[in-house]
Structure 1
Amino acid sequence: MKLKALTLLITSSFACMVTAADMNVNQEVKAAKDPHIANLSLVQQLADVGLEQKDPLILMTAAKIYAMTPTKDMKRTKESEGGVDSKKTTDMTVDFDSLLDYAKEYSGDNESYLAMISEIESVKTRGRTSGPAISTDRIEAGATDTYYIRYRGDRLAELMIIGDGDTDLDVYVYDERGNSICKDDDYSDQMYCSWVPAWTGEFEVKIKNRGNVYNVYDILTN
């Protein structure tokens, strides 16, 4: 019995070693997070509070951080599966212009606030070519969107999904061998995954809409 137990233990340990070696993750490398992605997460949090409380000052702060955070627009090809077409009465997107539009609306005739908004408008970065890559897309109710994103080996890979707040979104990341690398499946539509690839390779990113209406989301990658 002892010999059998020892054999099972050795076999199990070897299987774990093989699995770890096959996964495109380097557990030994520690890398610093991109502060720009953290800033954009903060923008979303401030926007949520500002819109809920109709507070122009909070929205102005969010807009200013957004304006000063470099990003680069990227078009991504996706595969969509399942889902049904749906409609919503309003879309509350979070970008520089919409944040200031809401700030203006909630400021009313307050000249001091309007002057602050004009000043923030002049801060907006033009021709962004650096920082995290950002793309915007729409996922139908109950659908799954799939992207294939390439990350470099031995460097921190970061992925953030920021939805419009109307449904629960979940994200699942797999390497090219089908190994599960990361997931964020809480009950929100703001998701974050990070890992260090062992080698440069392509990762499969699946986004699932758990709600009964569509969701407009941003994908941010470093």
Structure 2
Amino acid sequence: MKIVNTKVMAALLGASVLASAPVVAQDKSGTNKSETELELTDSGKMVEKAALGYRLAEYARANEDGQAMLVAARILKGVSLRDSDNKGEMVATGSGKADTGEDGAMVTADTLLDEAATFAADDDDLLDMIEETRAAENRGAVGGAIGLRRWVPSATAWNVDFSARGGEPLVIAAQRDSGTPVDLQVYDENGYLVCQDMSHNVVLKCRVDPAWTGPFRVKLSNHGGIGTGVQLVTN
């Protein structure tokens, strides 16, 4: 008679039970939003950094402050953005005829350095620092956050769909060009509003902590009477 090792038998039986047990699907019927704040990924931190740079640049423009604009440019030097074929769609939200315009160029460290040089005027020391910064290598990680730019006509919403991983925060920042009011809203796959920034500030930001992997819709609504270029950055 063969003697069976009881520990081995127990392990085999346990594995058999686990293998035959039905897989319980995750409940995705509610709001895709974790109750706990998740740790930011490197790409999420990059979006936060971009938002900071955009906000400082707006302050610099309002005050024609070359030094502040230089600092904003240095912040964006540490942000690496990649393009995406997913440009989203424009949906009319009003009955008026939508105006037309160009998407325009992405706001980058170099474009902010150009503005800083304009504000610097005859300040040779500041101009030297601007050129030193321009010559420095970008510090952002390769393949970082996604950067998109579109012209959003008046009374129009720009909808862009993204997929986010469960357990990794989704961070969205948007910057408008003109003074027209723009709102930022984020919806999950079930249509629940999970974040919004209705401040009408030049720079808008949202963060969502997904409970599971799934699609999200970013909606940027131009409620004003004129169109505007909008730059969208997300991880």
With the shorter chain as reference, the TM-score category is 0.7 to 0.9
Question: Secondary structure at 2:132's aligned position in 1?
Answer: helix
Structure 1 residues 126, 74: closer, same or farther in 2, change over 3 A? farther
After superposition, what is the alpha-carbon deviation per residue over 1:83-139, rounded to whole angstroms, capped at 9, x for unaligned? 611569xx8974222211122222223322221111001124289633221111110
1:5-20 mapped onto 2 (5 Å cutoff): none
Q: Which residue pairs with 2:4 in the alignment? A: none
- In the alignment, the residues of structure 2 paired with residue 25 and residue 216 of structure 1 have an alpha-carbon distance, to the nearest angstrom, of 30
Question: Secondary structure at 1:62's aligned position in 2?
Answer: helix
Report the CA distance between 1:60 and its aligned residue.
1.0
Q: Which residue pairs with 2:8 in the alignment? A: none
Question: Secondary structure at 1:22's aligned position in 2?
Answer: coil
- In the alignment, the residues of structure 2 paired with residue 105 and residue 190 of structure 1 have an alpha-carbon distance, to the nearest angstrom, of 22
Q: Which residue pairs with 1:31 in the alignment? A: 39
Aligned residues: 202
1:1-222 mapped onto 2 (5 Å cutoff): 22-28=30-36, 30-32=38-40, 34-82=44-92, 84-85=98-99, 94-125=107-138, 129-222=142-235
| Structure 1 vs Structure 2 CA RMSD | 2.7
Contact 1:142/1:211 (CA < 8 Å) preserved in 2?
yes
Contact 2:79/2:139 (CA < 8 Å) preserved in 1?
no
Equivalent residue letter for 1:151: A
Q: List 4+ stretches of structure 1 deviating above 4 A.
A: none
Contact 2:79/2:140 (CA < 8 Å) preserved in 1?
no
Could you state the TM-score of these two structures normalised by the residue count of structure 1? 0.80
After superposition, what is the alpha-carbon deviation per residue over 1:138-191, rounded to whole angstroms, capped at 9, x for unaligned? 100111111111101121111111212422111222111212222221232422
- In the alignment, the residues of structure 2 paired with residue 152 and residue 57 of structure 1 have an alpha-carbon distance, to the nearest angstrom, of 39
- In the alignment, the residues of structure 1 paired with residue 183 and residue 112 of structure 2 have an alpha-carbon distance, to the nearest angstrom, of 25
Contact 2:161/2:218 (CA < 8 Å) preserved in 1?
yes
**Is the radius of gyration larger for structure 1 or structure 2?**
2
Question: Secondary structure at 1:145's aligned position in 2?
Answer: strand
Contact 1:79/1:145 (CA < 8 Å) preserved in 2?
yes
Q: Which runs of 5+ in 1 are unaligned?
A: 1-18
Q: Which runs of 5+ in 2 are unaligned?
A: 1-26
After superposition, what is the alpha-carbon deviation per residue over 1:18-63, rounded to whole angstroms, capped at 9, x for unaligned? x995222221453237332222122112211211221211111111
State, as a whole percentage, how many aligned pairs show the same letter: 25
Equivalent residue letter for 2:99: D
Could you state the TM-score of these two structures normalised by the residue count of structure 2? 0.76
